[in-house]
A = this chain, B = another copy of it.
Amino acid sequence: MSGKITVIGLGPGSLSQLTPEAADALQAADVVYGYGPYLDRVPARAGQRREASDNGAEIDRASRALTEAANGASVAVVSGGDHGVFAMAAAVCEALERGPNGWRELDLAVVPGVTSMLAVAARVGAPLGHDFCTLSLSDNLKPWTVVEQRLQAAASAGFVIALYNPISRARPWQLQRAFEILRGHLPADTPVVFGHGVGRAGERILIARLESAHGSQADMATCIIVGSSETRVLARSNGPALVYTPRSIGAFST
């Protein structure tokens, strides 16, 4: 087979956070597959085709991209942030495994990007400076009981927690329930960072205390970081507070 499929992470939003490697791979593609809003971010190139599909149609999108690559095209598949985190890279691998044996011979490359939690963390300081867990709150792909068990395990063990896919029209209550669970394991003043649309127009950062954090403070484009009992908030006179988790446990204990 002469085709090629490249899965590309676009970064959080701004083109200034798109790596040169990703930009080059986008330029080289005959056709780009992706969720519409992500495709809109891809710099235009004459002669390059775009295949937009809906959010939620990941395996189907991956199968169509693999089919076209198997037919000889140079195909790019894009995700926002890093496609390796709850995104298209795993969908392409799964579609490849489920597809014809010939697909296993395809030239497949994966180009990483800056994932959302890193961009949100950078905006407020360094909340991911110590051990952390990264968890999708979507119960479309796993039972909600598993989400609850993982939240409890992560908070009890002292991990900072980054939450992806916190809320959607079809999943309106899960984030609020997650906060309730975490309040059973973490101090009331644990910082919660809501990062909406980081790197894009309309970016908003909100820092709350766990005791008053509410699901309504997030939307589909929000990535949330819940601190551990070690995470610190440092007020500043001329800017937003710094939120960071010291590299060492007990750094500020007396």
Contacts and interface: CB of A to CB of B under 8 A. Distances in A.
A20 B21 CA distance: 11
A16 to B, nearest CB: 4
A236 B249 CA distance: 43
A43 to B, nearest CB: 12
Interface stretch (A32-40, A64-72, A129-137, A208-216): A129-137
Contacts of A14: 21
Contact of A132 (B16, B130, B134): B134
B136 A94 contact: no
Given A125-B89, A131-B135, A153 B157 contact: yes
Interface string A116-130: 001101110111111
A90 interface: yes
A12 B111 CA distance: 12
Interface in A1-44: 9, 11-12, 14-21, 24
B122 A89 contact: yes
A208 to B, nearest CB: 19
Interface in A80-138: 82-87, 89-94, 96-97, 104-105, 107-108, 110-115, 118-119, 121-123, 125-136
Given A97-B242, A113-B114, A141-B247, 17 more contacts: A14-B21, A15-B20, A16-B20, A82-B118, A89-B125, A92-B126, A93-B125, A94-B247, A96-B234, A97-B234, A104-B237, A105-B237, A110-B126, A128-B134, A131-B150, A132-B134, A133-B159
